[in-house]
Structure 1
Amino acid sequence: MAVYSLKTVQVLPVTLEKAWDFFSSPANLATITPPHMGFNIISKHHGAKMYPGQIIEYTVKPLLGIPLYWMTEITHVEEGKYFVDEQRFGPYSLWHHQHHFREVPGGVEMTDIVHYKIPLWILGDIANALFVRKQLKGIFDYRYKKVEELFR
């Protein structure tokens, strides 16, 4: 029963303030998620700007178009530097997603680091090898391209 990780790094030709304003707004999550995932925020209290302790509820359709409920909590926020979301209920037995931002020449370097674990012991490990890791990579590849379009 392994813990897996995924890391992506992207440089955006924008100010730190513009990058932070976009990525720290839960309303923009659907924009950077592939349409086939059926991402839909269902929280009644998600607000315009994230804050520590904030709960965000949504549904996603990661497999065969079957909707799954997912609840995450924003556990850490340091304005303009990083925030962390952690699954409280959903498809993973562990989901810890760090979003880091730092100014670099010509813009902002954005780094995502995800640690995740799949339930069902060896079956989860097999699922990761067969499709979960590939699907997560595909979601982050889509996000990379979409962010390029939005900020170029």
Structure 2
Amino acid sequence: MPRIELRTEIKASKDIVFDLSRSIDLHKISTKHTHETAIAGKTSGLIGMGESVTWRAKHFGVYQLLTSKITEFERPNVFVDEMVKGAFKCFRHEHHFTDLNGGTLMIDYFYYEAPLGILGRLADKLFLLSYMTRLLIDRNRVVKEFAETDNWEKILVQ
């Protein structure tokens, strides 16, 4: 099963970074290039333990549905979302947050398995791993950008 690990240093408090990372609204901003929309479950605000969201997004020219659920939650240190239904055979995304030099180290562990057996493993080697890595890097860039400026208030203060 492929694993993507990303470490992002952010000059903001762990509480802010944690909440931005679980914000449905910020996720929509970070994935606007895939036209991602929350269509069921938690569709705005901050997602929490036991809650799920169904996303509709365009990947590889095709609209797809993906439902994930928060299966672990310890604010402000860690939360985990796992696919309940979608195109992958499975996925698990762990979000970890630690204090670092007055800011936060955000660590993502993203485990997934493509469908279709050997064809899925081939797709993974050819393009899927790099595609998923880029999506996560883009998402983290937006979290960092909002956390390190006053823009986080537009998402978290309402």
Does the 8 Å CA contact 1:46/1:55 hold for their aligned counterparts? no
Residues 1:58 and 2:55 are matched in the alignment = yes
Report the alpha carbon displacement of residue 101 of structure 1 after superposing the two structures with TM.
0.6
Report the alpha carbon displacement of residue 141 of structure 1 after superposing the two structures with TM.
2.5
Does the 8 Å CA contact 2:69/2:84 hold for their aligned counterparts? yes
1:11 equivalent in structure 2: 9
Residues 1:126 and 2:122 are matched in the alignment = yes
Residues 1:76 and 2:43 are matched in the alignment = no
From the superposition, tell whether residues 25 and 132 of structure 1 become closer, same or farther in structure 2 (CA, over 3 Å): same
**How far apart, in 2, do the equivalents of 1:151 and 1:76 lie?**
23
Corresponding pairs, count = 148
Q: TM (normalized to structure 2)?
A: 0.86
Please, which runs of 5 or more residues in structure 1 have no aligned partner? none
**How far apart, in 1, do the equivalents of 2:122 and 2:134 lie?**
18
1:114 corresponds to which letter in structure 2? F
Q: TM (normalized to structure 1)?
A: 0.89
Does the 8 Å CA contact 1:46/1:54 hold for their aligned counterparts? no
Q: Per the alignment, in what secondary structure is the counterpart of residue 92 of structure 1? A: coil
**How far apart, in 2, do the equivalents of 1:122 and 1:6 lie?**
20
Does the 8 Å CA contact 2:41/2:51 hold for their aligned counterparts? no
Greater shift after overlay, 137-146 or 114-123? 137-146
Report the alpha carbon displacement of residue 44 of structure 1 after superposing the two structures with TM.
4.8
Root-mean-square deviation (CA, aligned residues, Å) is 1.5
**How far apart, in 2, do the equivalents of 1:90 and 1:139 lie?**
17
Report the alpha carbon displacement of residue 74 of structure 1 after superposing the two structures with TM.
0.6
Greater shift after overlay, 41-50 or 86-95? 41-50
Does the 8 Å CA contact 1:12/1:109 hold for their aligned counterparts? yes
Residue in structure 1 matching 2:22, options 20, 24, 48: 24
Does the 8 Å CA contact 1:81/1:102 hold for their aligned counterparts? yes
